[in-house]
Amino acid sequence: MSPAAADAFTALASDRGGLARSSTAERVADIMRERITDGSLAPGSRLPEDAVGSALGVSRNTLREAFRLLVHERLAVAEFNRGVFVRRLTRDDVIDLYRVRSLVECAAVRRAAEATPAAIAAMRQAVADGEQAAAAGRWPEVGTANMRFHQAIVALSGSPRLDEFMRQVTAELRLAFHVMENPRAFHEPYLSRNRDLAALIEAGDGVAAERQLATYLADAERELLATQPA
């Protein structure tokens, strides 16, 4: 195991909360999901059972349950008899992820007229948060706000299952962001497009919003692919 990975693991140990409300395996999965999506555990990293297990103070059985969850969410891959690794996205993965986003998000904005006021408000808030974070130069937060904006778009549809599915799609896409060298340059230009899009949605012009979002996502996909290794 690389030293960097070891640091990430030992860092996990302190995260263990005292109370065991949900199952241990789920809490372990939560912690590791966090570390994977925030980039502490880079794509391709190996996740050895005993190193991670001892770092978090859980048994192999419990850890394996957590691994199984992460594999199911596509944040990790399990190679039979070889171990578990942080997922490394291929170009085809990125293409598929944007295909899903385009289909679902476009459909959601087109039906935005039926959305609840709370969902609209959440979307507007995400736009404002992104602009505020950019003004203050807090670039990681800009990326976070951008993701919340898109999650808010999905929430316009009012479907818990679609929400969760797209949350997973977003988490997976973050794996691609972390191999980028300059996330700031990637997210910044979309701030104004987010505002324009939100305005169209609030105005009830679903058709125009959908068209704008389609080109938005196509641009983002192209730019992201340009940053990815072969």
Partner DNA sequence: GCATATTTGTCCGTATGTATA
Partner DNA sequence: CTATACATACGGACAAATATG
- Residues near a copy of itself, by CB under 8 A: 22-23, 25, 61, 64-65, 68-69, 72, 78, 80, 96-97, 99-100, 103-104, 106-108, 111, 157-162, 165, 169
Cβ closest to DNA, residue 48 vs residue 183? 48
Residue ranges in 68-127 that form contacts with DNA under rule CB under 7 A: 78, 80-84
DSSP 112: G
The one of a copy of itself, DNA, none whose footprint includes residue 50, by CB under 5 to 8 A per kind, is DNA
49 contacts DNA (rule: CB under 7 A) = yes
Query: What is the rounded distance in angstroms from the CA atom of residue 62 to the CA atom of residue 161?
Result: 27
Q: Name the helix (H) or strand (E) containing 46.
A: strand 46-47
Stretch that binds DNA, among 55-63, 111-119, 123-131, 213-221 (CB under 7 A): 55-63
Cβ closest to DNA, residue 10 vs residue 61? 61
At its nearest, how many Å lie between DNA and the CB of residue 227? 29
| Phi, psi at 2, each rounded to 5° | -75, 155
For the beta carbon of residue 228, count every other beta carbon within 10 angstroms. 14
Cβ closest to DNA, residue 3 vs residue 137? 3
86: which 2 tokens?
């942080």
For 108, residues 6+ apart whose C-beta sits below 8 A from its C-beta are: 153, 154, 156, 157, 162
